[in-house]
Structure 1
């Protein structure tokens, strides 16, 4: 492996971890006292996450898509391990059998990785075309907000993730 590739990977990893930490701290502080409301879920949360991912990537000269993937991987691990803190899911599964948060956590983790990869692709595409980070982040925020709205609508309609 070349020194340049190693340093790019290191910058990507560091930017991913910093963006993940910033988003975690913001989301935790913003949702104190209960479940996050629509403003947090559809505007502030996506805005902070997309700004942090792209901002740290650009500040550290790391590939934007790599940082989004790294962020998605961190969020995937967090989601997939949620069962460690919350225990078994009390809701029955589709056939009446007990569902497990571990299965839901794994599904949520996979969706985190895939969705953040998609947000990264949107960001990179807009950045490539416009050369304007603000437009790229705005496009990613819109995609992220739409994704959150779709997930909330699915779960609210009785869908199981």
Structure 2
């Protein structure tokens, strides 16, 4: 049995300059998601994404390090979906079946002026994913998402 992981929680809040239905669609559709998924220096090819937007459906992506070609697969499951207001996914981060899945819950709030506030709460997050570097990577992904949304307008 694996040693118990150091699990914790992370949260992010962000306002995007796009309507809620567009933000939700972009975060759940491979044709959009491939443009901003992952930190700077990483690509996420559409052909390596599988999203089945229903409880029990797949939420699978592979990020590829642009410099080395190293692949980082993420094999998740949709736990809850209430389009366009909420998405919850789980991802196993350990081969130990006794370890809980990391859970990511995203709530989408229509601010009434064409912008959307997202609140993302991740639980059962291993320490390595909570590091300042990992947080900076998540922020760079949000910045790329901002640019992508601006290109849609």
Report the structure number with the largest CA radius of gyration.
1
Common fold: TM-score over 0.5: no
Larger helix percent: 1
Larger strand percent: 2
TM-score bracket for this pair, using the shorter chain length: under 0.3
Q: Which has the higher contact order (CA 8 A, sep 6+)?
A: 2
